[in-house]
Amino acid sequence: MIDMHSHILPGLDDGAKDMAEALAMAELAVAGGVTIMVATPHGLSSPFNVTAAARDVALRELREELQRHSIALELLPGMECWADEKALHRALAHPECFMNFQSDDPGRKCLLIECPPMFDLPMVDSLLFQAQLKGVDLILAHPERHPDFRRQEGLLVAMMDKGLTLQINAEDVRKRLWPWGNERVTQRLIAHNPTQVVLGSDAHSKDRRPPNLASARDVICEWFDGGVWEQLSVGNPSRLLGLKR
């Protein structure tokens, strides 16, 4: 399985506080069946290269510790960027923001964006149009957490039809504790086009929002079947990251 959204890198944001917690998170992820995890710290620094440089240092150090402790988790670089009007401009100026930017496919550009509650989801539609003109694939992080999620189901469907990928948090699927109706909207969005959905843990610690991607498997397989689960957890992420399967 491939975890497309995590805050596993220690000391960068509100994720893992230190190396010990990062290693504990990695062990939990591997125990749950994850083999590849994209490290996506918040890209709030300006310019982005400040955050990217700190990410790369933390990524290298954590990779070394994973090898030293024989933890079989492959880490790939990424960043979680705010979906404001300057997001695409900043990312294009600093391509190290793109997910797995060092892949074997030099033309592949994939950006994870977050639409905070204070931003309107229609802003993502405008950003999507700009991204497509530049050949950038957009992934919208955990739309189910946005307060307009249910009201903007039609917009999300339309953006999926244009090429937007939705990243759903596995713990949100498992808990089924959302406001009334969110679960059904999520199910309908996946059913609409399962090729435009990926899963992530959005892991922040080993206890609070842990890296438990497999927690969503039973619900996804109840809604659909094992083929859709495979597509969301392996097939779609591999394509977006430029990985050979």
Q: What is the domain-level CATH number for residue 30?
A: 3.20.20.140
203 pLDDT band (50/70/90 cuts)? very high
**Dihedral class, residue 89 (left if φ above 0, else alpha if ψ from -120 to 50, else beta):** alpha
Q: How far apart are CA 111 and CA 203, in angstroms?
A: 18
Decide: pTM greater than 0.85. yes
Q: What is the mean pLDDT of the chain?
A: 92
What is the pLDDT at residue 44? Answer: 74
Number of domains composing the chain: 1
Q: For residue 84, what are the domain limits?
A: 2-241
pLDDT band at 49 (very low <50, low <70, confident <90, very high): confident
pLDDT tier at 244, thresholds 50, 70, 90: confident
pLDDT of residue 41: 96
